[in-house]
Structure 1
Amino acid sequence: MSRHFETAPGLCEARDTATNAYVFNQTMLRIKDPERTLDFYTRVLGMTLVKKLPFPKMEFTLYFLAAIPDSQLEQWSKDDGERLAQTFGRPAMLELTYNWGDKDKAEVNYHNGNSEPKGFGHIGFAVPDLAAACARFDSLGVTYVKRPEDGKMNNIAFIQDPDGYWIEIFSPENLEQGLSEHLGSDQDQR
C-alpha cells in the first residue's frame, strides 16, 4: 500500500523513519514596512503575533504569526523560552522578515513571484464563507488580484498584502464543486 494518496512521477515510496517527526513550520516573506504589514495580517486576516525576534547585530527582525482561534490562545505560553519552542514546533507559521531601514528606501521592492521571472506564487487561507470574507475585505479596502466572480474558477479569490504578495482565499467545502469542471487526468496534460 502506498503512503501517498495520489500518484505522480518522482514520488519516493520508502519514507525514512527519521523524518516521521518533521513538521513543515514556516513560510518566510520579506517585508518593507512592519507596521503596515503586521496591521494587514493581524487586522485583515486575524493572525496572532506569537514571537518577535530582533537581531540587532545583523539589523533585521523576524515576526512569527499564526492563525489561532481565540479559544486556543490560552494554550500559548507567556514564558518566552517555552513560546519560542511552541513557535518553532507548530505547523503553518508565517515568518515576516524586516531588514532594518528598508521602509525608508524607495528602491526596495520585493518580487511576489507572479510576474517574470515567475517563482513563488502565494500563501492560502481557508475561510468558512468565501462571499462573507470577500464582503469583509471589500469593507476594509483590500486589494484584489482576482475576485471569486472573475475568471474561470469562481470558488477562489486572490488578495494582496501591502508588499504585493498574493493570498488565495477559499472555502474548503466549496472547492470540489468549483474545481471539478476544470480538473482532468494526468493523461490530459501530456
Structure 2
Amino acid sequence: MSRHFETAPGLCEARDSETNDYVFNQTMLRIKDPERTLDFYSRVLGMTLVKKLPFPEMKFTLYFLAAIPQDELSNWSSDDATRLEQTFGRPAMLELTYNWGDKENDEVAYHNGNSEPKGFGHIGFAVPELSQACARFDALGVTYVKRPEDGKMNNLAFIQDPDGYWIEIFAPHGMQDGLDEHLGSDESEV
C-alpha cells in the first residue's frame, strides 16, 4: 500500500523513519511595518502572536503567529522557554520578519511572488463560510485580488495583507463543487 493518497512523478514511496516526527512548522514573510501587519493578521484573520523574538545585534525581530481557537489558548504556557518550545513544535505557524528600519525606508518593498519574476504565490486560510468571511472582509476594507464571483473558480477568494502578500480564502466544504468542473486536465497541458 502506498503512503501517498495520489500519484505524481517524483514521489518517494519509502519514507525514512527518521522523518516520522518532522513537523512543517512555519512560512516566513518579510514585512515593512510590524504594527500595520500584526494588526491585519490578529484583527482580520484572528491569529495569535505566540512568540516575539528580537535580535538587537542583527537588527531584526521575528513574530510567530498561529490560528489558535479561543478555547485552546489556555494550552499555551506563560513560561517563555516552554512557549518557545511550543512555538517551534507546532504545525502551520506564520513567521513575520521585520528588519529594523524598513518602515522608514521608502525604497523597501517586498515582492509577493505573483508578478514577474513569479515565485512564491500565497498562503491559505480555511474559513467556515466563504460568503460570511468575505462580507466581514468587505466591512473591514480588506483589499481583494480576487472575489469569489470573479473568474472561473467561485469557491475561493484572494485577499492581500499590508505588504501585498496574497492570502487564499476558502471553505473546505465548498472546495469539491468548485473544483469538479476544472479537475481532470492533464498536468502536462497546464
TM-score range, shorter chain: over 0.9
Q: How has the CA–CA distance of structure 1 residues 187 and 120 changed in structure 2, closer, same or farther, with 3 Å as cutoff?
A: closer
Could you say what secondary structure the match of 2:94 adopts? strand
Q: Secondary structure at the match of 1:167?
A: strand
Match of 1:98 in 2: 98
How far apart, in 2, do the equivalents of 1:136 and 1:98 lie? 28
Report deviation, 1:144. Answer: 0.1
CA distance in 1, matches of 2:11, 2:114: 26
Whichever residue aligns with residue 49 of structure 1, its letter is L
Task: Name the structure 2 match of 1:27.
Answer: 27
Percent same amino acid at aligned positions? 82
- Aligned match of 1:88: 88
Q: CA deviation at 1:187?
A: 6.7
**Counterpart AA for 1:116:** E
**What SS is found at the alignment partner of 2:38?**
helix
Aligned to 1:74: 74
Unpaired stretches in structure 1, ≥5 consecutive residues:
none
Supply the AA of the counterpart residue of 2:62.
L
How many pairs align?
190
Partner of 1:149: 149
* In the alignment, structure 1 residue 121 sits paired with structure 2 residue 118: no
Change (3 A) 1:181 1:188: farther
- Provide the secondary structure at the position in 2 that maps to 1:153: coil
Secondary structure at the counterpart of residue 50 of structure 2:
strand
How far apart, CA to CA, are the structure 2 residues paired with 1:66 and 1:156?
A: 21
Equivalent position SS for 2:182 = coil
Provide the alpha-carbon RMSD of the alignment.
1.0
Letter of the structure 1 residue corresponding to residue 31 of structure 2: I
- What is the aligned partner in structure 1 of residue 3 from structure 2? 3
**Residue 184 (structure 1) shift:** 1.1
**Which digits, 9 at most, give the CA deviation of each residue in 1:130-160, with x for residues without a partner?**
0000000000000000000000000000000
Report deviation, 1:186.
Answer: 3.5
Structure 1 residue 55 corresponds to structure 2 residue 59: no
- Where do 5+ consecutive residues of structure 2 fail to align? none
CA distance in structure 1 between the aligned counterparts of 2:43 and 2:57, rounded to whole angstroms:
31
After superposition, give the CA deviation of every residue in 1:87-142 in whole Å (9 maximum; x if it has no partner).
00000000000000000000000000000000000000000000000000000000
- Could you tell me which residue of structure 2 aligns to residue 167 of structure 1? 167
- Distance in 1 between residues matched to 2:106 and 2:96, nearest whole Å: 19
Q: Which amino acid aligns with 1:147?
A: R
Q: Mark the CA change 1:187 to 1:136 in structure 2 (over 3 Å): closer, same or farther.
A: closer
